[in-house]
Amino acid sequence: MEYTELSSTTFQIIDQFCQKAFELDETKEYFIKTGVFSSKFDFRNAYIHDAKEVKEIGEYLLFISFQASCFAHYDLSGRNQPSIYGAATTNEWVVREFIKDKENNPCIYKGLPLHTEYRVFIDADTKEVLGINPYWDPDVMKKRFGKEADANNPDMVHDYVIYAAHEKTLMERYEKNKEKVQREIMKLLPFLDLRGQWSIDVMQNGEDFWIIDMALAKDSALLSCVPKDKIKAVEEDWIPRISIKEL
């Protein structure tokens, strides 16, 4: 059913399902996403942080699933209608315990703490680190906040000011720790049961480093930090093979 057709009874059923499926604790804080979309750019929908919201977590998950489909042909004016099903569609939901900020970082995207983050590209076949880049890349971020059509939007102005003020801290932490992050990722590679090339996102929180996301390298931004001769072409075959016996 379309999100706009769902009733309050449906929401209550989904909320109750999530309480059991995720073994939720109303005293904890959570970060939620679908299998392909986190809504972190509108962080108030991704961060669940009081007992009422924990009870309604199913409704939040339903909404960000809907939001992802609305963004399928997104432009800077906001969500578009109708929603389009495809790359943003998934039957997976993820609920993680929220990692509380130890560093008192400023926030962008309506509440997202601006941690130092590292995007590491790896080749799971050759067991090597291909490249590393600051996740909050200065050129990318200042272009997004300051040079797009919505640059005068109050939220964009706010985020530009916050990012510009915090950029020096972010980049100093990045330069200080990027080699350490690469070494630690190298230690993990022999144990990864994966094939192909991937991006791995690492978030720094004080002296702690957390792997918070992964994706296929070909689908990841910031791939320019990888030498072109290291990038492998990837073929995707979506055509199912049906044998005569199955028929």
- The tens digit of pLDDT for each residue in 109-135 reads 999 999 999 999 999 999 999 999 999
Nearest Cα neighbor of 83 from 8, 1, 11 is 1
Chain centroid to Cα 229, Å, comes to 27
Tens of pLDDT, residue by residue over 24-39, are 999 999 999 998 888 8
Nearest Cα neighbor of 120 from 226, 228, 29 is 226
| Confidence bin at 2 (pLDDT 50/70/90) | confident
Query: Domains of the chain: which residue ranges?
Result: 3-97, 107-229
Average pLDDT over residues 78-85: 63
Nearest Cα neighbor of 36 from 215, 212, 222, 195 is 215
Chain centroid to Cα 48, Å, comes to 16
Tens of pLDDT, residue by residue over 168-222, are 999 999 999 999 999 999 999 999 999 999 999 999 999 999 999 999 999 899 9
pLDDT for residue 229 is more than 90:
yes
Distances (CA, A) of 66 to 10, 17, 61: 15, 18, 9
Q: Are 149 and 167 in contact (CB under 8 A)?
A: no
| Confidence bin at 239 (pLDDT 50/70/90) | confident
